[in-house]
């Protein structure tokens, strides 16, 4: 039974990657965009990830896997694997959510006005797949003064040592 389940998972993962490629080729104006239907996203994401990334949910503070995570590496989008934040810009905000003072590069994330719940906030989304990541506030540390307050469920993590191994593989 266990083998069967992991098989099903692999098939979903493969289907997910195949769809990512097809869709990114299909959109000529913005070829790097990842566009999927809600059903396709549900196949690729856990229910919690889906709720947060696609329905703008928020995980409870101090419950995510990365708020107290201090390894060196890169945080990627859990939905499309785009690089979003470096561990070098992560800081302990005390809020219970992973916090960064700047994105991986200027094209990694986008911001949108969010006036829900009677608050004026800036929503942070993945530039590549439009997945909801969290919000950005202007009470962060130097050098930017910004605090990107991000849900752990929207993130994956690649250890710095694994990134180096992968780069080595590409060269060979």
| 79 scored as a contact of Zn ion (CB under 5 A) | yes
Q: Does 98 bind Zn ion (CB under 5 A)?
A: no
The answer to whether 44 contacts Zn ion (rule: CB under 5 A) is no
Length of the chain: 172
Please identify, using beta-carbon distances, which residue of 77 and 150 lies nearer to Zn ion: 77
Q: Tell me the C-alpha to C-alpha distance, in Å, between residue 89 and each of 92, 124, 146.
A: 10, 16, 11
**Contact flag: residue 132 with Zn ion (CB under 5 A):** no
Position 80 contacts Zn ion (CB under 5 A): yes
Instruction: Give whichever of 6 and 107 is closer to Zn ion, judged by the CB atom.
Output: 107
Ranges assigned E (strand) in the chain: 73-77, 83-86, 90-91, 99-100, 109-114, 121-126, 132-137, 147-150, 155-159
Give every strand in the sheet of 73-77, ordered side by side: 83-86, 73-77, 155-159
By CB under 5 A, is residue 129 in contact with Zn ion? Answer: yes
| Residue 149 annotated to the active site | yes
The window from 104-112, 121-129, 138-146, 159-167 that contacts Zn ion (CB under 5 A) reads 121-129
Distance separating alpha carbons of residues 164 and 113, to the nearest angstrom: 37
Residues that bind Zn ion (CB under 5 A): 77, 79-80, 82, 126, 128-129, 131
């Amino acid at each position: 039974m266990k083998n069967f389940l992991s098989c099903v998972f692999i098939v979903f993962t493969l289907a997910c990657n195949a769809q990512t490629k097809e869709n990114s080729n299909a959109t000529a104006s913005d070829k790097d965009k990842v566009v999927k239907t809600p059903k396709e996203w549900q196949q690729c994401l856990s229910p919690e990830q889906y709720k947060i990334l696609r329905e703008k949910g928020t995980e409870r503070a101090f419950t995510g896997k990365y708020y107290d995570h201090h390894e060196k590496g890169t945080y990627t989008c859990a939905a499309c694997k785009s690089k979003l934040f470096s561990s070098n810009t992560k800081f302990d905000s005390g809020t219970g959510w992973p916090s960064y003072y700047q994105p991986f590069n200027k094209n990694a994330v986008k911001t949108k006005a969010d006036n829900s719940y009677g608050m004026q906030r800036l929503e942070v989304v993945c530039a590549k797949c439009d997945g909801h990541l969290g919000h950005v506030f202007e009470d962060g540390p130097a050098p930017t003064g910004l605090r990107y307050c991000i849900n752990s469920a929207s993130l994956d993590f690649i250890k710095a040592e694994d990134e180096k191994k992968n780069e080595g593989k590409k060269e060979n």
